[in-house]
Amino acid sequence: MAKTWFILRHSKVTPDEALQKLERFCAYSERCPKEVRSKLSEFGLTQADAEQIFKVLQEDKFFNEERFAMAFAGGKFRYNNWGRVRIRQELRMRDISPALVNQALDSIDQTEYENLLQKLLDKKRQQYAKDGNAREKTAASLIRAGFEMELVFRFL
């Protein structure tokens, strides 16, 4: 019984169906090339078909490494309150080129960055106000969020 489920669940799709599915996948959210290739591998296509679909999606601008890096860095900074260290690490894990990683990180306004760090620092100070290790816990929390150690201690 389990084998039947596996076959039905992982049945092959035609190249045209795969292209349609990937177009929707890419249109839903910014994607990096690594995510597109990963999704392509799930369809059980031949290497030639997969490569052709990848090229079509790339030429039709369904995904773009630079656009992804900029959107990712801005989003994680503004909505998730991540620091540059964590953003850099996550972009590297997605095989984004070092030049684009630097470009994306440079797009984060330094004043906004320092204002966010100050806001988070104040929030953590209140959270740990009654704790004897408040300074250490605050610093550790902000460093885990991806802010540079030197900057955190300068602001503390």
Give pLDDT tens digits for 23-45. Answer: 999 999 999 999 999 999 999 88
pLDDT band at 13 (very low <50, low <70, confident <90, very high): confident
What's the pLDDT at 129? Answer: 87
What's the pLDDT at 54? Answer: 96
DSSP annotation string for 60-79: TTS--HHHHHHHHHHHHHHH
> Is the separation of the CB atoms in 68 and 32 below 8 Å?
yes
d(CA 140, CA 123): 14
Q: How many angstroms separate the Cα of 133 from the Cα of each of 11, 86, 137, 140, 148?
A: 56, 24, 6, 11, 20
What's the pLDDT at 48? Answer: 94
What pTM value is reported for the model? 0.87
Q: Is the pLDDT of residue 9 over 90?
A: no
Q: Is the pLDDT of residue 10 over 70?
A: no
d(CA 63, CA 54): 10
Q: Is the pLDDT of residue 3 over 50?
A: no
What's the pLDDT at 131? Answer: 86
Q: Cβ contacts of residue 65 below 8 Å, gap of 6+? A: 32, 33, 96, 97, 100
